[in-house]
């Protein structure tokens, strides 16, 4: 922990309080700093990082008078939409796995009750 403190002391926006917790004084952080700052368990990686999307990056800054929706204007938006589609596919896949597991469990329970009745 002392080595980490000395390495992070070179960076201005980060300090440590008397308990050894990291304090961030700046809004802008690099990915390396984000990996190090996770509370008291700084050596563990975060399970999920939810970045904040700026409203100007969310969609185009113009609209059509006839009501048409404009196409995707940034690569960040395209990547975000692809990620959402992939997450949706994963959710559907896992829900189908849960349904199959529930059906198998019901079949096992019916077989147990059938064997008990014999």
Instruction: Please write the tens of the pLDDT for every residue from 12-22.
Output: 445 556 666 65
Give the DSSP letter of residue 61.
Answer: S
Of 50 and 36, the one with more pLDDT: 50
Q: Which residues pair with 22 in a beta bridge?
A: 16
Residue 5 in contact with residue 19, Cβ under 8 Å? no
Residue 66 in contact with residue 51, Cβ under 8 Å? no
* Residue-wise pLDDT tens digits, 51-98: 677 776 677 777 788 988 888 777 888 888 899 999 999 999 999 999
Q: Which residues pair with 36 in a beta bridge?
A: none
Q: Distance of CA 5 to CAs 9, 26, 50, 102, Å?
A: 6, 17, 26, 50
pLDDT computed for residue 83 by the predictor: 92
The tokens 């008990």 sit on which residue?
Answer: 116
Residue 60 in contact with residue 70, Cβ under 8 Å? yes
d(CA 97, CA 94) in angstroms, rounded, equals 5
pTM over 0.95: no
Query: 3-state DSSP call for residue 80?
Result: helix
Which of 17-31, 32-46, 71-85 is modeled with the greatest confidence? 71-85
């Amino acid at each position: 922990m002392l080595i980490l403190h000395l390495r992070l002391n070179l960076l201005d926006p980060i300090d440590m309080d008397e308990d050894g917790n990291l304090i961030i004084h700046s809004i802008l952080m690099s990915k390396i700093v984000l990996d190090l700052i996770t509370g008291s368990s700084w050596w563990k990686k975060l399970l999920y990082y939810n970045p904040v999307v700026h409203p100007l990056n969310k969609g185009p800054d113009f609209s059509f008078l006839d009501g048409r929706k404009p196409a995707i204007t940034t690569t960040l938006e395209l990547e975000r939409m692809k990620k959402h589609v992939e997450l949706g596919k994963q959710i559907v896949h896992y829900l189908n796995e849960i349904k199959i597991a529930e059906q198998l469990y019901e079949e096992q329970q019916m077989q147990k009750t059938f064997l008990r009745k014999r």
